[in-house]
Amino acid sequence: MSRIALYQARTGIDPEANARDLVAAIEEAAQGGAAMLFTPEMSGLLDRDRARAAAFLHGEADDPVLAAVREAAARSGLWVHLGSLALRREDGRLANRGFVLDDRGAVRATYDKLHLFDVDLPTGESWRESASYAPGERAVVVATPVGPLGLSICYDLRFPDLYRALTDAGAKAIAIPAAFTVPTGAAHWHVLMRARAIEAGVFVIAAAQSGRHEDGRETYGHSLVIGPWGDVLLDMGDEKGLGYADIDLARVDEVRGRLPAISHRRPIPEPEQLP
């Protein structure tokens, strides 16, 4: 049994202030008995004003938010899944990159978001993530205190082939840090999270952004922990702060033994196109 903490954030336009909030969350989670803390997508900076945000964008080696979180993880003896940061790549484009840090602050894994959010919503909101960000090129599973953890980010949620690949590679828990919009969150957040857990018999851990942000956007919140039978173990509503849940990997084996869908997976043949 492993106790985890989720940090539901309202990340703003000042990375220094965001880093202070993350460090405080790490310290509080460690004091609360957690073995690992999960934070949302874009934990270091959330600003849709690209010109204003540009001054605060760094490469991985010199990002001050990542450095502060690594130091706090080592000081607190806590594993951290830093949901994602916006980082400059060597080619000048940006990466939406998540990190798994161990209890010494060492980077155990990184993951760049594979699927980019390019949509026009009925509310009039328009998002073009691919205008600035390069997509990732690999799926990742990493050993953690909550077992083999598959990594994904936000919009990845809508692409079940990724989660099939992660569970085929041995994942027993999946992290889905997010900054979901309110319209899409209200319509799809809970049902898709539960579906990802049910179809593979895994724990889903989804730390989310929530509320009205400094840049004017509004995010859905409702950070979730879903059990492998699809049961909601934690729903944090829309308030900023920490939530806790207990992860028992024996539950994964129990559910998969009861409904062994993973072992029934077969290669899908090319569909026939009939007249």
| Predicted local distance difference test score (pLDDT) of residue 49 | 87
Closest CA to 114 of 125, 91, 98: 98
* DSSP symbol at 64: H
**Is-contact 14 46, C-beta < 8 A?**
no
pLDDT digits (tens, 9 = 90+) for 27-83: 999 999 999 999 999 999 999 888 898 889 999 999 999 999 999 999 999 999 999
Is 172 marked active-site?
no
Is 113 marked active-site?
yes
Q: Which residue out of 71, 113, 137, 239 is catalytically annotated?
A: 113
49: left (phi over 0), alpha (psi -120 to 50) or beta: beta
Assigned architecture for domain 2-260:
4-Layer Sandwich (3.60)
**Is-contact 237 220, C-beta < 8 A?**
no
pLDDT at 95 over 60: yes
Q: Which helix (H) or strand (E) is 18 found in, with range?
A: helix 15-31
Calculate what percentage of the chain has a pLDDT beyond 90. Answer: 86
Kindly report the pTM of this predicted structure. 0.94
Mean pLDDT value across residues 184-213:
97
Q: Which residue out of 28, 41, 137, 254 is catalytically annotated?
A: 41
Q: Which helix (H) or strand (E) is 252 found in, with range?
A: helix 250-258
Is 41 marked active-site?
yes
Hey, is 79 helix, strand or coil?
Answer: strand
| Predicted local distance difference test score (pLDDT) of residue 253 | 96
Calculate what percentage of the chain has a pLDDT beyond 70. Answer: 95
pLDDT digits (tens, 9 = 90+) for 138-189: 999 999 999 999 999 999 999 999 999 999 999 999 999 999 999 999 999 9
The model's confidence at residue 90, banded by pLDDT at 50, 70 and 90, is: confident
The model's confidence at residue 249, banded by pLDDT at 50, 70 and 90, is: very high
Phi, psi of 239 (to 5 degrees): -90, 140
Cα 90 from chain centre = 24
Q: Which residue out of 28, 60, 90, 154 is catalytically annotated?
A: 154
d(CA 106, CA 99): 10
